[in-house]
Structure 1
Amino acid sequence: MNLKLHRFSKFLYLVPLFLGFSSYAQNNVVIVDSLTKQLQRLPKNNVSESVYLQTSKGIYETEEDVWFKGYVLDAQHFYPSARSKTLFVQLIEDKTDQVVWEKKYEIENGFVDGHLFLKNELPEGIYTLSAYSAHSADGNAKEFYAAKKLEIQKTIKRKTTVAPIQKDSIVLFTTYPEGGKLVSGIESTLAFKAVNSKGLPVEVLGTLFENNVPLIPFKSSHAGMGGFDFTPDVNKKYHIQLNEPASDKMYDIATIEPSGKAIHLLGNTKEAVFFKIAQSDGLKEETIYLRLQMRGIVYGMATDLLKKELVIKIPLTDIPQGISEVTLFDQNAVPLAERLVYVNQDQKLAITTELDRSAYTVKEKVKLKIKVTDQNGQSIVAHLGLSVYDELYQNKQDSKNIKSHYLLSTQLKGNIYDPAYYFNEQNKDRKEALNLLMLTQGWRNYVWNEDNLKLQGNSFPIVFDEMEGKVRLKNPNDTVMKKIRNYSKGLMEAIRKTREIRKKGIFVISGDESNGKNFIMTDTTGRFTVGPKELKKGEGGNTYFQLITRKPVNDTPEPKYLINVMDVSFEEINKQRKDKTIFYPISKIVKPNEKVAAPSMDRITINKLKEVVITSKKKFRDKIIGKLDSLARLKDYVCRFNILNCSNHIGEFDNRKPREGQIYEGAGGIPYHYGDRTEAELLARINVAKLEGYYGKKVFYETVYDEVTITDTAPDYRNTLFWKPDIITNNQGEATIDFFCSDINSLFIGNIEGVSGNGLLGSDNFEFKVGKKVN
């Protein structure tokens, strides 16, 4: 077979392109330019951030803190994003779809250090922790990925049995032609996938028949997927029968085109990928174009004259790790065939960990050295999150990590079975399995496919970093305005303009007043903006907005105003999420010979104290509300005509304070009683608006044992020994961590994940034993 080898050569055009310059390519620069630009302008309408949540463990007990780290990364390049400033986080009970927690957290240079408390009254079950930023949550999207599944229990249970694998008949066996179609007379790969009614993979053994004669035996090689090469003939009939599991059903294969062009992957190495482009006999020679794009960025474009067959080599030097889409176009830029290829799997953040020992005694100090390099062994600065916890709290069926999330789950529509398998270097067949996933998932499920981007259209955010406040007249026709009308008509109009259009000043105050006051102004319509700066001021509590009023001038009183700040972020989230499908990895099937972790026999039983609720006479959350309560009490008055809070005598010298139990005019004959005012009543009375700030930060408790504290007889029941979401390696790519073991005698797991400034992703894990004696 004589194949023409067409090589890409480097060429700079908007983005780094590899453009093969033959005489044909030079004559078709316009088409090359069009195919590049038409794709690269589409992602501008798409969301620009992607969120991932790393938690301190996978299984929690009530009355524990869930520690989490939020990664807010650029959706195309995976480097930390500085666009969004606020992360909106919810915890949802899966069984009831009820939100049990929702708070706002500050995003600092693309990262969030967060926690939430699990109340004792929470039912046991599976919960979803989800997160939204202003540039990650798209109202038009039907899919949602920024989620982490957590299992919550009252008390950790002993698990000594393995749930049996349920037998299920195959409900779907599907074939996937490479490139999207089979062409008569052209060899290509026919991939297949078998799943049961629950979407779980089924391993199969079967045969391809040609005119009812066995032609090719085959079997699945990973997760119900497999494939084989063959040359179809449009004049013959084909079907597939499965021997295992045994079935009499005959499955048709994809339709065979009588003629056309096809694309076939010949090889995928560290240096390059090779494609064979072929067309049917009898078709005239034609200029073709081959485009390689990843996450909406065109990295390569080749063009040449196709006579019968040719081979194109695409160097991978300047292409990041991930799913790439290769599309074959005809001379009129019409797409003929497309294929997904996973490239540069070795291009990653390599994280290695080294413990000073493999086993420790209870309460002993652990020293951990971390080293981070790129795929070439060069030291690199990275932002890492590390958790060390009792293996009993590990959810072994959850195969989601930072690499599988960003490189697979968020790139393909649909739920992927056990995606972490493809990034575990212990799985020697992972590259072949990943190629089958690309074939059976189909390019139409690629999020960055051109057709998908067009269908999505202009996106609109669900939440915003900034909210709008509004100052308005309480009632333009109130008593104050009546007084204004007593002036001459011209003066009244001037005063009206002064009162209604003039910009207003507002004090911004934190809940405990420790941060002082900020000052903001409204526009001429009374509108003002509340952003991250104001939410930061109220961190751990509330931010208050106090309208600044002035004293009357020339007996012209100030009209009454109302100030309001509305945060409807979570209302919008709750409305939108009902229309979205959460794509989450399908749990790995636990095989009968795999034992689930059980508590150590000598594990100490923890008796939890009953919850103690402290109540007070005044249920005010912070000092500001208490102060407002005092001010409200002072603002009650009785005028000289014995009228309670008379609007005609505001601020007059002979007003007096009301007395408890006395009856005054205007009170409906009811004896005066100050009573307990709600927060809403106090805020309305004093004309102050309130907005909940960022949820407060909390430092993870680290026990330190020295010569004195090591003899402490109080038991240490910590099942999470260490949590640190903000480890930053030095210029040598190194970091050293120290922590202490607890009294729990068990196997402990360490999980570490992170990202570099240029978007390399990595993860690693380690384990060690803790016991009363070290063997």
Structure 2
Amino acid sequence: MRWFLISIICSFIVFKASSQSKVAQKIALNNSVNPTTNLFVHFDKNVYSNNETVYFTAYILKTGKFELKDHKILAVALIRDVDTSIIKVDKFVTQDGLAFGNILIPDSVATGNYHLLAYTDKLVNGKPELIFKQPITIKTNIELPFRANIKLIDKPNIDSKDNKVLISVTTHDYKFLAKPVTVNYKYGSLQKTEKTDASGQLLLTIPKQENLIDPNIQVKLKHQTDSSFLSVPLPSGKTKAYVKFYPESGNLVNNVVSTVAWEVTDLQKRPIALKAFLFKDNSPIDTIETNSYGIGKFRLLADENAVYTVKLDNQNLKDSTYTLPKALNTGLVINIENAVVKDTLSLILRNTGNQKVFIRVHNFKQCFLDIPFDMKVKMRKLKIPLTDIPKGISTITITDSLDRPLAERLFFANYNDKEVLSANTDKTVYQQREKVTLKLESKKLQNSIVSIAVVQENRIALKNSNDIESYTYIKNELENISPNGKSSIYKDQDYLEQILRVKGWRKYTWQQTFNNKPSDTIKTTDSLLITGLVKRTNKKPITSPINLTTLGDDQIRIVNTSAAGIFDLNTPNLVTEHGKKMYLFVNANNRGDYGIQINDMFDKASKILSETEVSFISTEPLNLANNSDLVFKNNEKAIRLKEVVIKKTDDRRFHYARGGAGANACGDYVCIYNILNCRNHVADVGNTQPIAGVTYKGSNGPYQECNNYAKDDKSYVEFAGIRYHKEFYLDDYKDPLEPAFFSTIYWNYGTILDQKKETELTFYTSDITGPFKVIIQGVTGGDVIYAEKKFEVKQKGQVN
């Protein structure tokens, strides 16, 4: 049967009629009830070390009628996954949908899995309107205080009732420890504390527990003041699999051929590749299978009153027989062989009878196609032009004359995986400390701004990968998208085809869309604030404004309270440069009679989000059997001097915020190579205090004198101000004695691309050898950009 082309005539009908249709109005209402926008944050990498700086650029995307000016502050919280503890929160200026910033990972933070949680200050119904989560791993670049490992004694046995686990702990040079190590471990409902023996070992007998959401045994080791963590998944016998069937149109229909996608995962939502047998009334009729993504498909002609089941061929799984959904007696089926298409969608409609239907193409925000269609035959082939449909995931819904859905299918319109931005380096192999020239060409792009990271390749873990294309068009639209083992889901067309078959639209449904009411568009909006209150120490009320002064950077600012002593710290003139602690003082001769309270709503919001957003991320086997796995190799780290703690007896109220004993009252220091606040010498004993009026490497001008106040002065309070970003320090590493073990060798937070000519950037390789990756992410007129480029760094003398 020849193709029936829905083309210009139908398009004319559609756009004339759809503006008045009830369905189009309901979909438009859904767009008002659930306005679409999202936040994406480009972090320079996703594997960090202690005392390392995180660089980022945040983009607010898909704005539409969205008010960018309502989002003025971006908060970024570092959250530990194991217990959702908040390590630190920093806040940054947001303007015109962009925010730039830097976060210093504390030296004391334990290695392991973390999240960087970003959100803006605008609240809708009490929750930040824009939220973004980036999983990261923190390793260490210093020698471990002790070595520890965990392993199973016996081979996995499904029939055994216990797992025997051996924990071994030694010094970093594999000698016995002088004292036993305290071992806290948790597995399912079991939680105990024990100690290692004289040889540093502990043998645990762990009873198996079935169907655990978290399959890992979590171990915390503590020796004197040092701690470390281990975690491995334990065999739990036969486990239950999650098996789901997805008839392509939503339902099986008797006597109509359907394509059925199916998915098999474990309790942690990890895919399972296996074979299975398809049965009809207990008789095998086909052999089917899932791939490495846990996804498969098969064709089925359902017979009336027949029962179809699938039996899994896997001895490690229990409850291996699963029943397909019952077929409808009458209905309509959609078949789309290729759902990821450029400009035309081809589909086949199969029907059990003669009925009038409506074909609607929409994205639950806007209806693009809305036409009546007579299915007078059992099968009809159609082609739908997608010229006027925006790029991204859309839905084709077939309804009856009463607008009840009969069939539905997702597809991706205007897909294009061709590179619109080319990135090329002048060579593919470089020596250590060699100049690199990077050229970006974007002739087809207009109004483009990008952030650029050049990082060591092993600092980009695939399990944590996030790119702006995949996030904008896929992850933000569908839920529970598993990594595909590659850097970009968007560019993997085959994987995208498969997830469109099984994931479905998770944000909205047709029924929910029709249940929306105009009153649902009414929402309460608010903003997160940093406010304060001045009180008298004698508890008498304040009746006139109080004058306050801020210190901490090279500017002195005045803050005036209301007559009741209330003040606001969200004002633009209180934004300070990165890395400076801010202090607020009562500016009065009798300032000891006053006390200051700060109410930072971001602290409370971060706590709530850490418990509601990060804690709901599915648990995966961590497989950290040896704590040295979280230590960087010797050729990736510099030799660090051991930090010396010096107790002060003077009355300085500022302590050494980041520079150790050599820092001044504001936390500023100069390393032995004359670099101000050198990121490679945090807390080194060779640091000295900067001198006012002297210009140092890494500074923007002469150093400004740091103010100092007495420790017993009670009329001040420290507060976390809103920050500007810190410029990335570009070094040519001319000093041969200065170690240069930097995994991020270039970062540019906002480069505006020139459409008429190439954009040329230069930087230098560091002392780290191996593969490096250039990652470019950003926005252009109506779209997003993502590009990669690789090169290698070898030791001097090894490059031909």
TM-score over 0.5 (shorter chain): yes
Which residue of the other structure, out of 263, 267, 270, is the alignment partner of 2:342? Answer: 270
CA offset at residue 612 of structure 1? 5.2
1:734-753 map, 5 Å: 734-753=758-777
Which residue of the other structure, out of 475, 483, 497, is the alignment partner of 1:435? Answer: 497
Aligned residue in 1 for 2:425 = 355
CA offset at residue 113 of structure 1? 1.9
Aligned residue in 1 for 2:681 = none
CA offset at residue 730 of structure 1? 1.2
Which residue of the other structure, out of 464, 470, 479, is the alignment partner of 2:527? Answer: 464
Aligned residue in 1 for 2:190 = none
1:131–1:728 Cα change, 3 Å: same
Which secondary structure does the structure 1 equivalent of 2:469 belong to?
A: helix
1:614 and 1:453 mapped to 2: Cα distance? 68
2:459 and 2:331 mapped to 1: Cα distance? 55
1:194-343 map, 5 Å: 194-243=264-313, 249-268=320-339, 269-281=341-353, 284-286=354-356, 288-294=357-363, 296-308=365-377, 309-343=379-413
1:677–1:528 Cα change, 3 Å: closer
CA RMSD of aligned residues (A): 4.6
1:520–1:332 Cα change, 3 Å: farther
Contact 1:372 1:381 in 2 (8 A): no
- CA offset digits 1:633-656 (Å, max 9, x no partner): xxxxxxxxxxxxxxxxxxxxxxxx
Higher share of residues assigned helix: 1
1:358–1:433 Cα change, 3 Å: closer
Q: Tell me whether 45-54 or 333-342 shows the greater mean CA deviation.
A: 45-54
1:331-730 map, 5 Å: 331-346=401-416, 350-372=420-442, 378-418=444-484, 420=486, 423=489, 425=491, 430-443=492-505, 445-446=506-507, 451=512, 464=527, 466=529, 510-511=550-551, 515=555, 531-536=570-575, 540-542=580-582, 566-580=599-613, 606-610=639-643, 615=648, 616-620=650-654, 681-683=714-716, 692-705=720-733, 709=734, 712-730=736-754
CA offset at residue 59 of structure 1? 1.9
CA offset at residue 413 of structure 1? 2.6
Which secondary structure does the structure 1 equivalent of 2:249 belong to?
A: helix
| 1:70 equivalent in alignment to 2:58 | yes
- CA offset digits 1:334-389 (Å, max 9, x no partner): 2332222222221676332211111112211111112235xxxx244422222223
| 1:58 equivalent in alignment to 2:42 | no
The letter of the residue matching 1:293 is H
1:537 and 1:597 mapped to 2: Cα distance? 34
CA offset at residue 66 of structure 1? 2.0
1:748–1:417 Cα change, 3 Å: closer
Q: Structure 2: give runs of 5+ residues left out of the alignment.
A: 152-230, 624-628, 657-664, 666-708
- CA offset digits 1:463-499 (Å, max 9, x no partner): 7255566789999987x9xxxxxxxxxxxxxxxxxx7
Contact 2:78 2:89 in 1 (8 A): yes
Contact 1:6 1:311 in 2 (8 A): no
Higher relative contact order (CA 8 A, sep 6+): 1
Length-normalised TM-score, structure 2: 0.70
1:335–1:751 Cα change, 3 Å: same
Which secondary structure does the structure 2 equivalent of 1:435 belong to?
A: helix
Which residue of the other structure, out of 128, 131, 138, is the alignment partner of 2:115? Answer: 128
- CA offset digits 1:408-454 (Å, max 9, x no partner): 222123353438566475xxxx43432221121123x2458772896
- Percent identity between matched residues is 20
Q: Tell me whether 43-52 or 329-338 shows the greater mean CA deviation.
A: 43-52
The letter of the residue matching 2:290 is S
- CA offset digits 1:690-716 (Å, max 9, x no partner): 8532135322222125xxx36x33333
2:397 and 2:621 mapped to 1: Cα distance? 33
Q: Structure 1: give runs of 5+ residues left out of the alignment.
A: 11-17, 481-498, 550-559, 591-595, 627-674, 684-688
Aligned residue in 1 for 2:782 = 758
1:505–1:526 Cα change, 3 Å: closer
1:83 and 1:453 mapped to 2: Cα distance? 30
Contact 1:403 1:761 in 2 (8 A): yes
Which secondary structure does the structure 2 equivalent of 1:339 belong to?
A: strand
Contact 1:81 1:109 in 2 (8 A): yes
1:739 and 1:76 mapped to 2: Cα distance? 37
Length-normalised TM-score, structure 1: 0.72
1:77-88 map, 5 Å: 81-88=68-75
Q: How many residues align?
A: 650
Contact 2:74 2:119 in 1 (8 A): yes
Q: Tell me whether 432-441 or 99-108 shows the greater mean CA deviation.
A: 432-441
Contact 2:3 2:382 in 1 (8 A): no
Contact 1:48 1:136 in 2 (8 A): no
